Each structure stands twice: as C-alpha cells, then as structure tokens.
A and B are shown apart, each in its own frame.
Chain A
C-alpha cells in the first residue's frame, strides 16, 4: 500500500529520481536548490548510487554527458545562473542525442539577481538553452506530488526520445512542503540503449557519441531528423490542466506555482460573478498550443500571469494567433503576486 510522506520540493526531486532508477547525480551548490544535492548526498550511498560534487556547473553537466553516454540514468540540478553555465554542455547533449534530466529551481535574474522564486528563465528553457537548432523537453510542476511524478516522467521521456528533459520549478516549489506519494505513477516502456558507449565487449562495432558533423549536408540531415522527432512529441506528449474553462469569458494562463495563486483568484472571481477559468500548461515545451487555439474560439480574453516581465505570454499569443486579446500581469525579481492582485487584473480585463 502506498503512503504519503511530507517532503520539501527539492527533496522530492531527489527521491523521485532515485525511485526512477537514477543512481548518478552530478551537481554544484546554488541557492535555492541546494537540498536536491544534499538529499542525493545523503541517499545515494544507501542505494549503491553516487552523488559527486563537481568543481563547477560546467564540469557537472559534462559529467552528466559522460555518464549519459554509457546509457545509465543520470541527472543534475541547479538554479538560474548555474543553468546558464550548463548551456554549452546541454547543447552538446542535445547534439549527441543523449537522455538526461536537468532541474532548474529558478531564482530572480539577470546576473546574480536574487534567491527568491522566479519564472524568468522561461525563454531560456523553451527557446535558447544552448546554441544551435534545438529543443529540450520542459516540464513545469505545480505541487510536490507533481514534482515527484514529473521527475519520474522526465526520465522516461528523455530515454524514449533520447533528449534532455528539464524540470522547470522555482524557489517556492523547491522550498515548500506537501505530502507526496512516490508509488502513484506507472513507469513507461523504455527502448534498449544500443547506442551507448559503455565498452563493446567485442560483441558489436564501436559506438560513437558525437555532435560534430563537419559536412553541412550531413549536419542538416541530423537536425531535420531531430525536428521530425520534435513534431511527433508536439503531437503526443503535450500535458496541461484546465479548470472552469468550458464557459469562461476570461482564461487565465499560468504555470507552476503561479497557477496555484491564479486558481484561487479564479475561484474568487467566480464568487463575484465573473466567468473566469484557468489553463495551466504542464509541458512548456511542447507548449499546448493546439488546445489554447481551440479555447480562443470559445473564450473572450486571455490573461497570462507569470513571475517575470512576460515570457510565456508570447507563446499564448502565438498559440491563439491573435484571435482574442491576450493580456499580461506579472511580478518579477522574486516578488510573488497575491491572490488579490491577480483577481484585480481578472476584474480589470474581464470588463
């Protein structure tokens, strides 16, 4: 029988990874995600795993590249400035078609910024995590249970599609505690890793893990093949949650911790007679564009709410193709909007 454990978001990430069979963690300390590495440091020796503290974020992501090349499940975790340092390695991992899980417990930026919750790395995660034509899977949990489920899902997805998967959380989710059940999810079927560079044992030709294609036609071909895979993912792996959207005149679009504030604001708006609903993208890439486009036919307005100056709002506009107005409200720098602030904006734009 499954049981619920009270746990911090950061701790749940590590526990879920262990549950998913990850026995290798490479990281570097940074607030507000340090408990991820600390939990691994405590737990890995008990499960025959390894938690290695690297000399830098750059080294950590390249250790991930090496371990992922052998076909073993591996992950790293960081927060915004650290993710910037990892971006070179992430691009190579994408170019080498390697699976791995990367966690970003976001804090405010740019620069050293602050250590309070933020969602201002949305562009970075969905558009420009590394150089070159590329995408990675981006999953945005909104509760500790979802952190656990999506961390396990991220390992499965990255193995199935041979590409990195990112858990895009924030300082609030990382630090808050909620009950979580690690047995709730059914693992997916994982293909055999015949491509791994783990020693051929004289049984096959040598495997090469590589992102270099010096001939332009060859490079173009590999990129196009990767984008065909992306197209398939955009069809089959989109996840989102809807709340009271069926009859909504205004649909609030928010992800992660912000969606929980928005949900309370939607409830408050309904009490005041405003037909508000909530659309919560769970996969940020692939973005749930198709469903949002459909909603644009039934609703009158969208309001994107983010912990940034407005980044996801652009995807909402692209998805809805300007059929209906898309408004924005956000706080940034580590500031969190109150339910009342979101409600005021719903009221303002619902008129």
Chain B
C-alpha cells in the first residue's frame, strides 16, 4: 500500500529550488488540493516572474507564464474567457506587492473569482536578495545593507490586511509552512480558497510565510526559527476575511 506519493498534479520534473526553500512544500500543497478536488483538467495556473517562474514546468495542469506582477490580470483574462475553470496564480512578494500592486488590489476590488497563492519571504529571491515590499523594518538585504530604514525606504505592506478591506475579497488568510501543524493549516487554507472559487464567491488569497535561507544568509533551520521569531509577530497568522462565516453580532 502506498502511503506517501507525489501528487498527480505535479510533473516528474525535479524542483530547482535551493535547499531549505519552502516553495516545494507549497507547490505540493496546491497539487494535493487539485488532486483532492479532481480538477487538474479544469485548472489553469499562472506562474509569476521570480523564483517560482518555472512553476509552469512543475504543475500538470495547463500553465501560463505572466509578465512580472501581471499574474492577477492574466488570471482575470483566463477566468473571464473560461468562467467554469479553476484559475490560480502563484506569486512572490515583489511580484505581488511591488510591481503588481495595482493588479492585485483590483482583482480584489472586482471580486475576480480566482485564487492567489502568495509567497511572502520578505525578500527578492531570484535576483539575489534585494529588499522586498515585505522586508521587515531593520532587515538586511543587498539593497538595504544597513537594515531597512523606514525613513528612507518606507514601510512593509501587510497584504492580507489590506486586501481584506475590499468588498470583492471573499477569503484572505495568512499561514506559514514552518512546522507540521502550520503546514496542515496551510493546506486547509488552500482547500478553502479553492472551495470559495468553486462556489463562485469571489476573490481568495492565501498568504504563505516562507523562508529563503540562501538570501537570508541562514541555515534552513535558522531560517525557520527567524520566520517564527521575526516574521510572525509582524505578519500575524490568521483569517483576515471569510465571507462564508457569519459574524457574531
């Protein structure tokens, strides 16, 4: 009996990610959800520009590679053309919250019935460790070599909190993939987001606090610890919007 296997929605192409990077975990979770819903043949995924640009090689569903930051607009085009298909984007923090902020905010405002999987690792990974819109105050990067100075470089953006204010956002949750418990929670959140899309309730986003040991200059273990000690207090985990739950008055 097979107790652990690669999800069918993932191809046999080996991931190119660095040791200790959490992209692989999140890819797997998305693929598991696609398998469980049985929707691989009805899903179109949008890969971003960034470390996960090659996501189109890893998922077995039809895939499109978008220009930097434009994945939500590309997803809108796909969804409007094929409203009964599942459409997800997979985007990093620079892609989603810097160059693609307008596209991100407006899929929320329109209530576009798509799902964004948002990888927040507080840094630009692919280009080699530059400051991201989510880089923490004081955090070192190659373009904030003395630590992020809020007077010079401005404040980080809390994406889920911001998008939760939009009427078209049906579901927004921040999760992490630093331990088994949180990974299970992340899976539940991704499942929920796809469920929201299935029921055509509007825009859904799952923000995943992730690690980048290579560009953080840490071992994989230290990176997980830093995610817990520094990122989580600034980016609290939790559900920021869920229109399927009636609020207690």
Contacts and interface: CB of A to CB of B under 8 A. Distances in A.
User: Do A and B belong to a common assembly?
Assistant: yes
Given A197-B64, A207-B62, A212-B53, A63 B40 contact: no
B106 A55 contact: yes
A219 to B, nearest CB: 14
Contacts of B105: 55
Interface of B is mostly: helix
17 contacts: A55-B103, A58-B102, A63-B76, A66-B74, A67-B77, A69-B64, A69-B78, A92-B66, A196-B62, A197-B63, A198-B44, A199-B85, A206-B11, A206-B61, A208-B62, A208-B63, A210-B65
A200 B80 contact: no
Nearest to B79: A66
A66 B56 contact: no
A202 B102 contact: no
A198 B67 contact: no
A59 B106 contact: yes
Contacts of B62: 196-200, 206-209
A1 to B, nearest CB: 34
A200 B41 contact: yes
Interface string B28-71: 00000000000011111010000001001101111111110010
Contacts of A58: 70, 73, 102-103
Interface string A11-28: 000000000000010100
Nearest to B74: A66
Interface in A22-57: 24, 26, 50, 52, 54-56
A63 B61 contact: no
Contacts of B85: 198-199
A167 interface: no
Contacts of A212: 53, 65
Contacts of A202: 40-41
A304 to B, nearest CB: 36
Interface of A: 24, 26, 50, 52, 54-56, 58-60, 62-70, 72, 74, 88-89, 92, 96, 196-203, 206-212
B61 A199 contact: yes
A209 B60 contact: no
Contacts of A50: 80
A59 B102 contact: yes
Nearest to B77: A66
Contacts, number: 137
B82 A70 contact: yes
Given A66-B76, A67-B80, A69-B74, A199 B65 contact: no
A56 B102 contact: yes
B44 A62 contact: no
Contact of A65 (B43, B77, B106): B77
A68 B59 CA distance: 20
Given A55-B106, A66-B74, 11 more contacts: A62-B74, A62-B77, A63-B77, A66-B73, A67-B77, A68-B77, A72-B81, A89-B67, A199-B61, A206-B60, A208-B64
Interface in B66-112: 66-67, 70, 73-82, 85, 102-103, 105-106, 109
B189 to A, nearest CB: 24
A82 to B, nearest CB: 15
A210 B55 CA distance: 11
B64 A62 contact: no
Contact of B44 (A24, A56, A199, A211): A199
Name the residue among B62, B70, B75, B105 with the largest chain A CB count within 10 angstroms: B62
Contacts of A196: 62
A66 B78 contact: yes
Nearest to B60: A206
A67 B73 contact: no
A202 to B, nearest CB: 4
A199 B70 contact: no
B113 to A, nearest CB: 13
7 nearest A-B residue pairs (beta carbon): A66-B77, A62-B73, A197-B62, A67-B77, A63-B77, A66-B74, A62-B70
A62 B67 contact: yes
A159 to B, nearest CB: 15
Contacts of B44: 69-70, 197-199
A52 B81 CA distance: 11
Contact of A199 (B43, B59, B75): B43
A57 B42 CA distance: 29
B41 A92 contact: no
A93 B42 CA distance: 23
A113 to B, nearest CB: 24
